[in-house]
Amino acid sequence: QVQLVESGGGLVQAGGSLRLSCAASGGTFSRLAVGWFRQAPGKEREFVSAISRSGEKYYADSAEGRFTITRDNAKKMTFLQMDDLISEDTAVYFCAAVHTILTGFTRPRSMDMYNYWGQGTQVTVSS
């Protein structure tokens, strides 16, 4: 069983930056693909970014050019560097993971691709 814990959220002014971290335990991290999703008040959870086992990266249009996803297999962590933040980025950010050796990372942008989820970390961007 894989456990995920997010950290790094907080309050930041528009134009600022935050770096979210997702720490994994209970499994072989290098076998996991990892995604980031977010949920704003009153809205559905949406895809933000993902990274495959081999390091292939995926971004939502809203994140492209502003956010950067990376992974450190030795530390069993994934990072989401968020720059040039805007008020629309305010949300709870969730880390998610899935083993993809057998299935492949076929739907990185879909919530149902993932079977492990963290509890989330709040990001608030003030304008």
pLDDT tens string, the chain, 127 residues long: the values are: 899 999 999 999 999 999 999 999 998 999 999 999 999 999 999 999 999 999 999 999 999 999 999 999 999 999 999 999 999 999 999 999 999 888 889 999 999 999 999 999 999 999 8
pLDDT for position 102: 83
pLDDT for position 89: 98
pLDDT for position 65: 97
pLDDT for position 84: 98
Decide if 46 contacts 37 (C-beta within 8 A).
yes
In 3D space, the residue among 54, 51, 31, 48 whose CA is nearest the CA of residue 92 turns out to be: 48
pLDDT for position 106: 93
